[in-house]
Structure 1
Amino acid sequence: MVRPVRRSRAGLPGWAFAPAALGAVFVVLPLVAVVAEVDWAAFPSLVTSEASLAALRLSLVTAACSTAVCLLLGVPLALVLARCSFPGLRVLRSLVLVPLVLPPVVGGIALLYTFGRQGLLGSSLEVLGLRVAFSTAAVVIAQSFVAMPFLVLSLEGALRGGGTRYERVAATLGASPTAVLGRVTLPLVMPGLVSGAVLSFARSLGEFGATLTFAGSLQGVTRTLPLEVYLQRETDARAAVALSLVLVVVAVVVIVVARGRRTEGL
């Protein structure tokens, strides 16, 4: 006689809780280690130094700008991927999501050979007097490149999950496509849109590899907080830990906001 698998009150096998606990410890323990390593007596002075404040300010400004770029370009892209059907759609969707798995430094090299002085578009921009690489604009471009797939993926999933029933009804009543988009589609997927925007902001804030490769590390111009953490690690480990904690706190706040919005949309 085969014995049935013993299940917990949650409907899960009892053995699942042990590896789940190990997985949680594996993720949480390094964060606890960062908190435990912080020199709390010197923490205020470490995170308020001129270099730290300049890096934090630049990170917040560029992350906000890149999030705006992701919204401006990513929302129409997600709409096309979710609502249209044409040859090559699957290939396009795959290419759009490539930055999710691409090593950031490779993305930085790709951007450098696109917008650099001798790049695909950079040489033409140089003629017009526009130098993109190793500028603050390069930071925004690098962050947008790696963050946009998060917005597209989140919004496309929300669009597909919501269906098109209400949109068809609105169109039947005479609403124009623009009116349907603004009054029906976007309000229905707003939780997914907000969640994608928040995740894009978080990804932009933590971007390192593509920024370093494409924009460099010039204080006040391209040196974001992750780059400052990396540099401080070589000279002042206490400052690196303190700034790392700042990034951890920001990341936790962003995740809480994103998860709260997603829960509201359920």
Structure 2
Amino acid sequence: MARGSNSNYTFPAWLYVPAGIALLLVLGPLLGLVVKIPWSEAGSLLSEPSAVQALELSLTTSCISTVCCILVGIPLSLMLTRSGKARASGSGRAGSGGLASAFSGPMAFIVYAPLVLSPVVSGLALMFFWGRNGLLGKLLAEGNVTIAFTSWAVILAQVFVSMPFFVSTAVTALTAIPRRYEEIAATEGATRNEVARKVLLPQALPGLLTAGLLSFARALGEFGATITFAGNIEGTTRTIPLNIEIGLSSNDVDAALGSCIMLLALYVLVVGLLLMARFLSSLRKADTSHA
């Protein structure tokens, strides 16, 4: 048997130990949480008016923020991806393509910045831009438009923290599309708009679905920036994570764990949809390889 065909040579046995430790560091706390949840009281905990209200608000704001990420994140991802490929192929020329190529580095730095900012700093940044005395919020306040401590503040906080997850995943999906697909379409007379709509986006669809699901999951779990910028107002800004914080601060652990059940159920749903998106991606790759 050829040496390269044995999987043991591609993954040394000693790596199972650190890999197992890494898995334990993630699985252990999750197992502890599941064990401690009072499942016998789950029905009453899930039907609590405050929990139901928090669930409805979380789902509504997370869906809206995900749609926002999709609408503006796809064009941004296309800009970052195509300008990067233009530089790599040496085709970055004057015009819109050259301009995107020149600014793709700084744009990527800006888009991914929320990944390294602490939640409190993110909340302060939102406050200093959208708040009543913020850069844009001051102008909005003159028109009697208030953002901070409203449901819109929750949505903006979710978009701010989840946009990097969407863009990074979308960029990965778009980068995997062979350049020759665009060149063939251009040879056939397709415009840039047609190449994007009829070639790039359909090919990247499974990856874009994954990007949307990841941004939705991140929006569901957002806490720090939300409580700093939007507050913890029942019925207005109190999402599931904030409802958990209220339960813990009031020493009502069971109520907090009841909200945890909601989040866990939603995350299981997201993971299931992610697996479906991966399956669709594998089917698309198989069809492409046979074509």
CA contact (8 A) 2:79 2:104 kept: no
Residue 253 (structure 1) aligned to one of 269, 273, 276: 269
Q: CA deviation at 1:10?
A: 6.9
My pick for the range that moved more, 165-174 or 62-71, is: 165-174
In the other structure, the counterpart of 1:105 is 120
In the other structure, the counterpart of 2:137 is 122
- Report the Cα distance in structure 2 between the residues aligned to 1:238 and 1:162, rounded to whole angstroms: 48
One-letter amino acid matched to 2:268: V
CA contact (8 A) 2:130 2:136 kept: yes
Q: CA deviation at 1:205?
A: 0.5
- Report the Cα distance in structure 2 between the residues aligned to 1:171 and 1:196, rounded to whole angstroms: 27
In the other structure, the counterpart of 2:54 is 55
Residue 221 (structure 1) aligned to one of 212, 220, 236: 236
Where do 5+ consecutive residues of structure 1 fail to align? 1-6
In the other structure, the counterpart of 2:173 is 158
Q: Aligned ranges for residues 1-266 of structure 1 at < 5 Å?
A: 9=8, 11-84=10-83, 85-235=100-250, 236-266=252-282
Q: TM-score, normalised on structure 2?
A: 0.85
CA contact (8 A) 1:142 1:210 kept: yes
Could you give the per-residue CA deviations for residues 122-158 of structure 1, whole angstroms, max 9, x where no partner exists? Answer: 0100111211111001100000000011111111111
CA contact (8 A) 2:55 2:262 kept: no
- Report the Cα distance in structure 2 between the residues aligned to 1:187 and 1:10, rounded to whole angstroms: 37
SS of 1:120's equivalent in the other structure is: coil
Where do 5+ consecutive residues of structure 2 fail to align? 1-5, 84-99, 283-291
One-letter amino acid matched to 1:90: G
- Report the Cα distance in structure 2 between the residues aligned to 1:53 and 1:245, rounded to whole angstroms: 12
- Report the Cα distance in structure 2 between the residues aligned to 1:157 and 1:163, rounded to whole angstroms: 12
- Report the Cα distance in structure 1 between the residues aligned to 2:8 and 2:268, rounded to whole angstroms: 30
Q: CA deviation at 1:217?
A: 0.8
- When residues 86 and 11 of structure 1 are mapped into structure 2, their CA distance, relative to the original with a 3 A threshold, is closer
One-letter amino acid matched to 2:255: A
CA contact (8 A) 1:34 1:245 kept: no
- Report the Cα distance in structure 2 between the residues aligned to 1:111 and 1:194, rounded to whole angstroms: 27
Count of matched residue pairs: 261
Identity %: 40
More helix as a share of residues:
2
SS of 2:10's equivalent in the other structure is: coil
- Report the Cα distance in structure 2 between the residues aligned to 1:182 and 1:87, rounded to whole angstroms: 24
- Report the Cα distance in structure 2 between the residues aligned to 1:171 and 1:254, rounded to whole angstroms: 37
- Report the Cα distance in structure 1 between the residues aligned to 2:56 and 2:10, rounded to whole angstroms: 47
Could you give the per-residue CA deviations for residues 85-105 of structure 1, whole angstroms, max 9, x where no partner exists? Answer: 532321211111011121121
Q: TM-score, normalised on structure 1?
A: 0.93
- Report the Cα distance in structure 2 between the residues aligned to 1:86 and 1:36, rounded to whole angstroms: 51
CA contact (8 A) 2:131 2:137 kept: yes
Structure 1 vs Structure 2 CA RMSD: 1.7
SS of 1:88's equivalent in the other structure is: helix
- Report the Cα distance in structure 2 between the residues aligned to 1:209 and 1:14, rounded to whole angstroms: 41
My pick for the range that moved more, 211-220 or 167-176, is: 167-176
- Report the Cα distance in structure 1 between the residues aligned to 2:206 and 2:9, rounded to whole angstroms: 27
Q: CA deviation at 1:21?
A: 1.7
Q: CA deviation at 1:164?
A: 2.4
In the other structure, the counterpart of 1:3 is none
- Report the Cα distance in structure 1 between the residues aligned to 2:189 and 2:72, rounded to whole angstroms: 28
